[in-house]
Amino acid sequence: MPRDRKGEFEPQILKKNQSSISQDIEEKILSMYAKGMTTGDIEEHIRDIYGIEVSDTTVSRITDKILPIAKEWQQRPLEAVYAEVFLDAIHYHVRSEGQIVKKAVYIAIGINLDGKKDVLGMWVGENESAKFWATVLNGLKNRGVEDIFIACTDNLAGFTNAIEAVYPRTEVQNCIIHQLRNSSKYVSYKDMKALMADLKAVYAAVDEQAALDALDAFSSRWDKKYPKISQSWRDNWPNLSTYFKYPQEVRRLIYTTNAIEGFNRQLRKVTKSKSVFPTDDSLLKMLYLAMVDITKKWTGRRQDWSIIYAQLSVFFADRMPVE
The domain ranges of the chain are 1-64, 77-173+257-323, 176-255
Mean pLDDT split into 10-residue runs, the chain, 323 residues: 63 50 73 76 77 76 84 94 92 88 92 94 86 93 96 84 93 89 90 94 94 96 94 93 91 79 87 84 88 88 89 93 76
Q: How far is CA 166 from CA 133, 210, 238, in A?
A: 10, 33, 19
- Using DSSP's 3-state secondary structure scheme, residue 243 falls into helix
> Which CATH number fits the domain 77-173+257-323, given the four candidates 2.30.30.90, 3.40.50.920, 3.10.620.30, 3.30.420.10?
3.30.420.10
Pair 311, 249: CB distance under 8 Å: yes
Give the pLDDT score at 117.
92
Give the pLDDT score at 318.
93
- pTM here is 0.82
- Tens of pLDDT, residue by residue over 168-191, are 999 999 988 889 988 998 899 999
Give the pLDDT score at 2.
58
Give the pLDDT score at 216.
96
Give the pLDDT score at 149.
96
Measured distance CA(125)–CA(293) in Å, rounded: 23
Give the pLDDT score at 183.
92
Measured distance CA(100)–CA(213) in Å, rounded: 48
Show Cβ contacts of residue 117 under 8 Å, excluding neighbours closer than 6 positions: 109, 110, 111, 259, 298
Pair 155, 239: CB distance under 8 Å: yes
Give the pLDDT score at 86.
92
